[in-house]
Amino acid sequence: MDTRSVTFLPAGVKVAVEPGIDLLTAAGKANIEIKAPCGGDGTCGKCAVIIKSGKAKARRESYLATRLAEKGLNLACQSLVEDEDLVVEIPKISAMGKHQVLVENVALGEGVSDALREYLLNVWQLKDLFKQKHEDPLHGYPLNPLCRWVQLTMPAASLQDNRDDLSRLVLSLRKETKCTDINIPLSLLRKLGDTIRVENFKISILLSEVGGKAEVIAIEPGHRHQPLYGIAVDIGTTTVVAYLLDLRKGTIVDTAGTHNRQARFGDDVISRIVYAVDEPDGMKDVHQSIIDTINTLIQDLLVKQRKINEADIRVMMTAGNTTMAHLFLGINPQYIRLEPYIPTANFFPVVKAQELGIRVHPDAPVFCFPAVASYVGGDIVSGTLFTAMGKADAQVSLLIDIGTNGEMVLGAGDWLVTCSCSAGPAFEGSGITFGMRAMHGAIEHMQINPETYEVSYATINNGRPLGICGTGLIDGLAKLRRTGIIDRAGKFQTHLPTPRMRIGEVGPEFVLVWAADTEIDRDIVISEADVKNLLRAKGAVFAGIRTLLNVVGFEFGSIETVYVAGGFGNYLNIPDAIAIGLLPDLPVEKYKFIGNSSAKGACMALLSAEAWAEAQDVAGKMTYIELSVGNMFMDEFISSLFIPHTDLTLFPNVD
Ligand code: FES
């Protein structure tokens, strides 16, 4: 096959590709990650690269591509390899950096300085978060892992006891486990006769026992100590986090997190579904990307934990939103995005790791958390399990997970109502001029002097500013309003006496950082259009909360605890979030950051069959409220498009 080479700088990685392939795809083949929030549609402009040598062909003409070309930039997704070898530089602003991934022992991101850690602790009162790394991963459930070794000494076969080997084994196992429904696969049955005689009918059986059914996974001769580890994975649309667990001790051995490699197919689940469904080999690509992401995390963990081998990991638990679960298992996600938005499955079969290509023991069973609906998935069920909201003695609580979507659960004990509002990925930086994810160099906190309008800011890892992450956007919105730079409707006050206020290419904008102080040599601004986008996002979340309360006839005051979950949630400044009308005006003490509750729930379920049973129960009793039915949500949404709201009586404590 005729190929061309593409060399990506600054990494210097070279890849051979066929002519006709776009540079975004070529970068993916070279394992180089470029930002692609629109999934290669040519509409977001975030995949801009510099072609240093060679000539690429434009896929199609567009205003955006023409504007970038004037600055010497090309959209990677719209530039096709043609006749020539290419050398392509990826500017920092387009490169996918390291995420601030929320794992408990590095909760403020990789490489975070002590000074910044202390600063964030003080500013955002995150002290509770750090207690969590010492918390019991079982959260009160008994240690009873989904996979365990059982040692048996069976009566030896004789002329007097001439039962077949299988019956002998099943009877012994029933006595030991009290389980009546036991399945032994053919592959093990074929070797059973030999295995049990190696050490005179003494054997060790690896068993997965769920809901009264036991599946034999392995049979080994003798009663040797067998290592037993499991992996719990939170498959987020943006980030993926893996926990390596010692199933014998019920402890977390290590954690690792990274961004989801599916990001090159788009930031949000819809872009990924479109790619999976519309592109040739699309489904294979998005499925393989998440498998590769997880395998990389597993390898990272095993490199750090040298005494543990792939084959020692005998079971895996995953929790992700409904689309992620479908893509992970290779199930067609097409109908999730088409009205009436029905997923192929909410409950998923247990599969073997080798069927998915997951690099642990090939026979390790892989469990997926059940979902509730197309847009309320296993991550929310897992988070709800973690909060114990479904327990009989629970008080009325609200769980909010603001990520690429805003999902929430309200309830206590037997009743749980849930919904998902399409807040859009604005809080993850998408659709915002200088929006970016929580990575090195992202502005995440700022102050604006009300007299001079001068801006001071803090960035992740103290890097030179590259853009603004979700937390910074909320902070910024609150400060813009507090200093009168925008009015309650988000309109810029263009008459203010500061050069920071100006009219940009798309309308009024406010300069947060001058080009000379940035890493990208461009002024970092927030525009009126950005503010409108953020108002829509915060309005959708608040309207979702109000709709759930209306459905059950409750007021804000009925809520005892608000659990704020997710990577974004952990860095959120609650007073700012209330001030802009994103979260209800409740006492700060009622808010509880629970970190990556999806991953924590997954750990609990892996370590305790009782917790896994509870997860099934929680999923079964959640009532899903479809917000597009009726006018209730839309009415609430429109009222929420002001700062903090059109009805100020809902925010009595906001100035
Ligand atoms: Fe290329 Fe969005 S414009 S990925």
Spell out the domain ranges in the chain.
4-89, 107-138+230-368, 148-221, 390-425+542-650, 426-534
25, 33, 44: residue to mutate for ligand 1 pocket, most atoms within 8 A of CB: 44
User: How far is the centre of ligand 1, averaged over its atoms, from the C-alpha of 476 (Å)?
Assistant: 26
- What pLDDT is stored for residue 98 in this prediction? 56
pTM: 0.85
User: How far is the centre of ligand 1, averaged over its atoms, from the C-alpha of 46 (Å)?
Assistant: 6
- Ligand 1 lined by 44 (C-beta under 6 Å): yes
d(CA 190, CA 93): 57
CATH of 4-89, one of 3.30.2320.80, 3.10.20.30, 3.40.50.300, 3.40.50.720: 3.10.20.30
User: How far is the centre of ligand 1, averaged over its atoms, from the C-alpha of 321 (Å)?
Assistant: 24
For residue 159, is pLDDT > 80? yes
Q: CB 324: neighbour CB atoms within 10 A?
A: 28
User: How far is the centre of ligand 1, averaged over its atoms, from the C-alpha of 318 (Å)?
Assistant: 30
- What pLDDT is stored for residue 122 in this prediction? 36
For residue 43, is pLDDT > 70? yes
User: How far is the centre of ligand 1, averaged over its atoms, from the C-alpha of 591 (Å)?
Assistant: 37
User: How far is the centre of ligand 1, averaged over its atoms, from the C-alpha of 465 (Å)?
Assistant: 22
**Domain 148-221 belongs to what topology?**
Ubiquitin-like (UB roll) (3.10.20)
Residues 33-51: what's their mean pLDDT? Answer: 86
Residues 561-576: what's their mean pLDDT? Answer: 81
Residues with Cβ within 8 Å of residue 522, at least 6 apart in sequence: 515
User: How far is the centre of ligand 1, averaged over its atoms, from the C-alpha of 187 (Å)?
Assistant: 48
| Domains 4-89 and 390-425+542-650 fall in the same CATH topology | no
Residues with Cβ within 8 Å of residue 9, at least 6 apart in sequence: 52, 87, 88, 89, 90
33, 68, 73, 75: residue to mutate for ligand 1 pocket, most atoms within 8 A of CB: 75
pLDDT digits (tens, 9 = 90+) for 198-219: 999 999 999 999 888 999 999 9
The contacts found for 489-498 with CB under 8 angstroms, 24 or more apart, are 489/641, 489/642, 489/643, 490/528, 490/531, 490/532, 490/534, 490/535, 490/642, 490/643, 491/528, 492/528, 492/531, 496/453, 498/452, 498/453
For residue 35, is pLDDT > 60? yes
CB 93 within 8 A of CB 103: no
pLDDT digits (tens, 9 = 90+) for 353-366: 999 999 999 999 99
Ligand 1 atom showing the smallest separation from residue 76 Cα: 1
d(CA 260, CA 437): 13
- What pLDDT is stored for residue 281 in this prediction? 93
User: How far is the centre of ligand 1, averaged over its atoms, from the C-alpha of 272 (Å)?
Assistant: 13
- Ligand 1 lined by 90 (C-beta under 6 Å): no
- Going by C-alpha positions, the residue among 508, 650, 603 that lies closest to residue 135 is 603
- Ligand 1 lined by 460 (C-beta under 6 Å): no
Q: Which helix (H) or strand (E) holds 243?
A: strand 239-246
- Ligand 1 lined by 47 (C-beta under 6 Å): yes
77, 267, 268, 271: residue to mutate for ligand 1 pocket, most atoms within 8 A of CB: 77
For residue 397, is pLDDT > 90? yes
Q: Which residue's entry shows tokens 């998915």?
A: 356
User: How far is the centre of ligand 1, averaged over its atoms, from the C-alpha of 407 (Å)?
Assistant: 27
Class of domain 107-138+230-368 (CATH, top level): alpha beta
What is the pLDDT of the chain when averaged over all its residues?
90
For residue 127, is pLDDT > 60? no
pLDDT confidence band for 428 (50 / 70 / 90): confident
- What pLDDT is stored for residue 116 in this prediction? 41
Q: CB 569: neighbour CB atoms within 10 A?
A: 24
- Ligand 1 lined by 266 (C-beta under 6 Å): no
User: How far is the centre of ligand 1, averaged over its atoms, from the C-alpha of 95 (Å)?
Assistant: 12
User: How far is the centre of ligand 1, averaged over its atoms, from the C-alpha of 35 (Å)?
Assistant: 8
User: How far is the centre of ligand 1, averaged over its atoms, from the C-alpha of 198 (Å)?
Assistant: 61
User: How far is the centre of ligand 1, averaged over its atoms, from the C-alpha of 62 (Å)?
Assistant: 12
The ipTM is 0.99
Q: CB 269: neighbour CB atoms within 10 A?
A: 25
pLDDT above 90 covers a percentage of the chain that reads: 73
- What pLDDT is stored for residue 97 in this prediction? 65
d(CA 377, CA 278): 23
- What pLDDT is stored for residue 117 in this prediction? 42
32, 43, 68: residue to mutate for ligand 1 pocket, most atoms within 8 A of CB: 43
Ligand 1 atom showing the smallest separation from residue 78 Cα: 1
Residues 296-324: what's their mean pLDDT? Answer: 95
pLDDT above 70 covers a percentage of the chain that reads: 93
pLDDT digits (tens, 9 = 90+) for 234-283: 999 888 999 999 999 999 999 888 889 998 898 889 999 999 999 999 99
- Ligand 1 lined by 77 (C-beta under 6 Å): yes
- Ligand 1 lined by 46 (C-beta under 6 Å): yes
pLDDT digits (tens, 9 = 90+) for 325-382: 999 999 999 999 999 999 999 999 999 999 999 999 999 999 999 999 999 999 999 9
CA-nearest residue, atom 3 of ligand 1: 42
- Ligand 1 lined by 75 (C-beta under 6 Å): yes
Class of domain 390-425+542-650 (CATH, top level): alpha beta
Largest Cα–Cα separation, the chain: 102
Beta pairing partners, 469: none
For residue 567, is pLDDT > 80? no
- Ligand 1 lined by 38 (C-beta under 6 Å): yes
pLDDT digits (tens, 9 = 90+) for 456-511: 999 988 889 999 988 899 999 999 999 999 999 999 999 999 999 999 988 999 99
- Ligand 1 lined by 120 (C-beta under 6 Å): no
22, 33, 41: residue to mutate for ligand 1 pocket, most atoms within 8 A of CB: 41
For residue 104, is pLDDT > 50? no
- Ligand 1 lined by 45 (C-beta under 6 Å): yes
- Ligand 1 lined by 42 (C-beta under 6 Å): yes
pLDDT confidence band for 139 (50 / 70 / 90): confident
User: How far is the centre of ligand 1, averaged over its atoms, from the C-alpha of 40 (Å)?
Assistant: 4
- Ligand 1 lined by 40 (C-beta under 6 Å): yes
Beta pairing partners, 352: 365
User: How far is the centre of ligand 1, averaged over its atoms, from the C-alpha of 21 (Å)?
Assistant: 15
- What pLDDT is stored for residue 570 in this prediction? 59
pLDDT confidence band for 296 (50 / 70 / 90): very high
